[in-house]
């Protein structure tokens, strides 16, 4: 019964209906430890983990079982992976301005997209968008641009440095729940709607990566995990079973903590 209640609580938190403080007193059970070196990782909404080391991407299920691998040595190291849509995973190679799409078995899904060939020689960040679209941040014009499924411009913000009167040097881009999140470490996380209209900036500075869940944005600072509510503008901290970690993900009832040599998978007791 206790496990069932915890799962229910976790589900409510994921959709933003309970305050994050519900996590602070929980105890965690270690499911498994992946003894693997990694540069970064991400997850999909089923709790699968996508682990990147150099030019190789490996998919694990939420029990830690290795499922599939993908590697392409022609495009250098992988810069970013977006598994928001697990049937259309985007793999970005910044040095070669290439985006490769994979299916749920990490098999290629269509031809790679050469951003330079379609006019974006200074694309710095990429993420997937609704209806098989693609967001990118173009350094040449300091703007967010959305491409539709035909790789045609659908939306663009214009010059963000001028629009927002700030120095814009973003390092992370993600679309989630009809919002677009652009991380600008010097000022915070810039939030836009799916049409590229600026909404607000939340005061989370110097973050490298973050994870939106419901109305909360989870991020790491000083080896601690914090969450910021974008509606109530309140911030809270919650305890984790390990203090020595670099990044984390919360997905499908699984807490994942990454160090350069290991990834730990926990469930709630």
pLDDT reported for residue 206:
73
Between 13 and 91, the higher pLDDT residue? 91
Whole-angstrom CA distances from 136 to 106, 122, 146, 175, 180 are: 22, 10, 6, 11, 11
- For residues 64 and 62, give the distance between their C-alpha atoms in angstroms, rounded to a whole number: 5
pLDDT tens profile 255-266: 999 999 999 999
Banded pLDDT at 5 (limits 50, 70, 90): very low
- pLDDT of 99 higher than 90: yes
Phi/psi region, residue 202 (left: phi>0; alpha: psi -120 to 50; beta: rest), is beta
pLDDT reported for residue 222:
74
pLDDT tens profile 206-260: 788 899 999 999 998 777 889 999 999 999 987 888 888 999 999 998 999 999 9
Report the candidate in 70, 83, 60, 39 with the shortest Cα–Cα distance to residue 174.
Answer: 83
Q: Which of 4-8, 109-113, 134-138, 162-166 has the lowest mean pLDDT?
A: 4-8
CB–CB of 267/9 below 8 Å? no
Banded pLDDT at 21 (limits 50, 70, 90): very low
Chain CA centroid to CA 182, Å:
11
> For 29-212+241-268, which CATH class?
mainly beta
Banded pLDDT at 20 (limits 50, 70, 90): very low
Average pLDDT over residues 126-137: 97
Banded pLDDT at 61 (limits 50, 70, 90): very high
CB–CB of 156/180 below 8 Å? no
Hunting for tokens 């600026």 — which residue is that? 198
Chain CA centroid to CA 137, Å:
15
Each domain of the chain, given as residue ranges in start order, spans: 29-212+241-268
- pLDDT of 40 higher than 50: yes
Q: What percentage of the chain carries pLDDT values higher than 90?
A: 80
Average pLDDT over residues 185-203: 95
Banded pLDDT at 26 (limits 50, 70, 90): low
């Amino acid at each position: 019964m206790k496990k069932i209640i915890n799962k229910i609580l976790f589900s409510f938190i994921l959709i933003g209906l309970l305050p994050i403080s519900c996590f602070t007193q929980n105890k965690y059970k270690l499911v498994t430890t992946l003894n693997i070196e990694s540069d970064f990782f991400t997850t999909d909404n089923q709790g699968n983990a996508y682990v990147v080391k150099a030019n190789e991407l490996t998919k694990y299920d939420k029990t830690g079982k290795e499922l599939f691998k993908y590697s392409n040595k022609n495009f250098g190291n992988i810069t970013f992976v977006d598994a928001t849509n697990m049937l259309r995973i985007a793999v970005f190679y910044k040095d070669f301005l290439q985006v490769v799409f994979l299916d749920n078995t990490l098999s290629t899904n269509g031809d790679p997209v050469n951003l330079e060939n379609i006019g974006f020689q200074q694309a710095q960040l990429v993420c997937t968008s609704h209806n098989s679209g693609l967001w990118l941040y173009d350094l040449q014009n300091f703007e967010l641009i959305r491409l539709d499924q035909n790789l045609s411009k659908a939306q663009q913000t214009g010059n963000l440095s001028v629009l927002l009167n700030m120095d814009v040097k973003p390092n992370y881009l993600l679309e989630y729940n009809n919002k677009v999140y652009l991380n600008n470490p010097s000022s915070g996380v810039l939030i836009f709607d799916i049409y590229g209209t600026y909404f607000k900036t939340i005061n989370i500075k110097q973050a490298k990566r973050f994870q939106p869940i419901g109305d909360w944005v989870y991020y790491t600072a000083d080896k601690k995990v914090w969450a910021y509510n974008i509606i109530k503008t309140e911030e809270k901290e919650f305890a984790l079973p390990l203090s020595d970690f670099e990044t984390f993900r919360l997905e499908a009832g699984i807490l994942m903590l990454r160090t350069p040599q290991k990834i730990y998978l926990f469930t709630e007791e």
